[in-house]
Amino acid sequence: MARRVSMATRDELVAAIAHRYSQSGRAERGRILDEFVAVTGFHRNHAARLLGHTRQERPIGPRPERRTYDDAVREALIVLWETSDRICGKRLRPLVPTLVEAMERHGHLQLAPEVRVGLLSMSAATIDRALRVVREQSGKRTRRSSPPSAAVRRSVPVRTFSDWQDPPPGFFEADLVAHSGPRVNGSFVQTLVVTDIATGWTECAPLLVREQGLLIEVLTELRKLLPFDLLGFDTDNDSVFMNETVRDYCNAEGIAFTRCRPYRKKDQAWVEQKNGAVVRRIVGYRRFEGLEAAAGLARLYATVRLFVNFFQPSFKLAEKVREGAKVRKRYHPAATPFQRLLADPRVSADVKDQARAIHATLDPVVLLREMRAAQQHLIDIADTPVADTKPTTPTLEQFLVGLRTAWKEGEVRPTARSKPKAKRLRRRPDPFVAVDDQLRNWCEAEPWRTSRELLERLQSERLGMYPDKLLRTLQRRVKAWRRAMAQKLVFGSSAPTETNRADAMYSAASPRADRTASSSVTLAERRPQSLAFGDPSGAAGIDPVTQPSSAAQMPLRSGVAYPRQNTIDARGTSR
């Protein structure tokens, strides 16, 4: 017969019945044994042994009578442990023979034979038990205790997404959004986001640092801005929420404090949606740190709360039905938090009248203009530490006129634009700094020469100084020279800017001499249409009729000459 009770219940039954079993007669013991076997499912002989030979409670703690090693062995072990820099028993056990031999050889330790035998025969577990008291007194903790928030977390009830049902206005979900940018080190500003479940009313406030006392102060200020009372406060398991300060504050104010399940963001779907739709969409992903950035965020959120809650409709999930592998969702019609507040019969008439009065004074265009100005101010703080000219805030009329054509400019939110990257300049020494003028003269005298031919000519004149791996560097340089020559040929001598840029990018800043007349004549015979494409091979746009006779035959590296034929396709490139 299978056992019907757990081991713990069995021990409790044995402790409760054993005394009565031992004091009863034979017949009474038989009835007790029958009942015990029927409940536990034990064999009758095993049950009789359990009830007749109850175990005595074993004292908890060390048992000196069972010690194998005396105090002399323990003192010697402590010396070895300190010599080994207080390592654990599993590491100390294989080190003991080597350590004892080395210390005796140098005269640091003299052990009696029985003590030496005891040290060498001691196991790793025995070493740890013998050193337990010493470790505790030395200040080293043997086991990591649970974090302080564990007890608070156990005292806070869990609320999942399905547990909300249809709460009245006043039950909020809260979360923190970090404005750390691409790195998380150091101190940075965070945003506290609270969202009402029933209406979607959202409030945001910056936190200069992650500190529970500051969180309580900010939450107190947000409660003054809410149109209704804060009845519930649901957070994640972050330590900034799971602490005695926040829990005691909620208990003192009569606020239902709950938390979601660990690593289950879906339990806080309402506030997680606002993290992206409000905070990330309006503030962006840049790094904000310091008092100035926190003040800029506070200025922005003062406008955002009015614009989002009164003029930004959102959808609210009505039901979700699973049909096999497909999930069908149905949403309520889109409405602003203000409209949901007015439509909820559980909201008092005074709250509705106050919300209507605020709505009557708001201008969405003014709010949007203030949002854009606050966003630009944040960008100036994050991207431009010292700005020479600060952008001026447009007037209301200018901003209203710009709304008609803002869609043509693409993304208009300053916080959504990526930070401009600095142009990558040369990071290594220029390998052609000594022959830059010479290479350019060769390129302008014979622009049909490829970069490889120029490099081979340079290698023949300067043996062992310019390896083949510099070919790609020379190709980029020749491409820039050809582009500058093409622009000069098309636009005349009034456009030397590209030449100056090429000189500054690829060589040292030094004034160049005027080019020879022969180079100008050679350029004048070329086609500007194909030179403007900047063909890297150096062969595009060259008319075979106007080429010098020396270029009619192009030598191969193997020494075989072949006639050069150029064909220009529809894109103007040579094939």
Domain check: are 116 and 26 in the same one? no
pLDDT tens digits, one per residue of 538-554: 333 334 333 333 333 43
Domain check: are 440 and 313 in the same one? no
**Closest of 501, 493, 512, 490 to residue 440, by C-alpha:** 512
How many Å separate Cα 284 from the centre of its chain? 14
Domain check: are 172 and 315 in the same one? yes
The pTM of this model reads 0.51
Interior angle at CA 211, CA 210 and CA 214, nearest 5: 110
State mean pLDDT over 335-360: 93
Among the candidates 102, 117, 138, a domain finishes at 138
**Closest of 94, 98, 92 to residue 131, by C-alpha:** 92
Domain check: are 35 and 69 in the same one? no
284 is a domain residue: yes
Cα–Cα distance between 414 and 284 in angstroms, integer?
9
Ranges 4-18, 267-281, 319-333, 354-368: which has the least confidence: 4-18
Cα–Cα distance between 8 and 19 in angstroms, integer?
18
Among the candidates 357, 373, 407, a domain finishes at 357
The CATH code of the domain that includes 229 is 3.30.420.10
510 is a domain residue: yes
pLDDT tens digits, one per residue of 355-405: 999 999 989 888 988 999 999 999 999 886 544 445 677 787 777 666 656
Judged by DSSP in three states, 85 sits in: coil
**Residue 91, token pair as written in the block:** 């590491």
Domain check: are 181 and 302 in the same one? yes
34 is a domain residue: yes
Cα–Cα distance between 41 and 33 in angstroms, integer?
11
- The neighbour count for residue 91, using CB atoms within 10 Å, is 11
CB-based contact 134:81 (threshold 8 Å): yes
Domain check: are 76 and 109 in the same one? yes
Interior angle at CA 154, CA 149 and CA 159, nearest 5: 110
225 is a domain residue: yes
404 is a domain residue: no
CB-based contact 189:249 (threshold 8 Å): no
| Number of domains into which the chain is organized | 4
Cα–Cα distance between 298 and 522 in angstroms, integer?
66
- The average confidence (pLDDT) of the chain is 78
Please give the helix or strand (H or E) that residue 542 lies within, else none.
Answer: none
DSSP strand pairing (553-555 vs 561-563): antiparallel
Among the candidates 88, 110, 138, a domain finishes at 138
385 is a domain residue: no
409 is a domain residue: no
86 is a domain residue: yes
Boundaries of domain holding 39: 7-52
Domain check: are 75 and 173 in the same one? no
**Closest of 570, 568, 562 to residue 542, by C-alpha:** 568
- What pLDDT does 131 receive? 87
- The neighbour count for residue 179, using CB atoms within 10 Å, is 24
Domain check: are 110 and 206 in the same one? no
- What pLDDT does 569 receive? 44
| 195 beta partners | 173, 202
Cα–Cα distance between 169 and 556 in angstroms, integer?
84
pLDDT tens digits, one per residue of 187-212: 899 999 999 999 999 999 999 988 88
128 phi and psi angles, rounded to 5 deg: -65, -40
Q: What percent of the chain has pLDDT over 90?
A: 31
- What pLDDT does 85 receive? 79
Domain check: are 17 and 98 in the same one? no
Residue 2 has pLDDT above 90, yes or no: no
Residue 136 has pLDDT above 90, yes or no: no
Domain check: are 347 and 443 in the same one? no
Domain check: are 110 and 162 in the same one? no
Count CA within 13 A, CB hemisphere, residue 202: 29
Q: What is the residue-wise DSSP string for 256-283?
A: EEEE--TT-GGGGHHHHHHIIIIIIHHH
Residue 125 has pLDDT above 50, yes or no: yes
Domain check: are 497 and 444 in the same one? yes
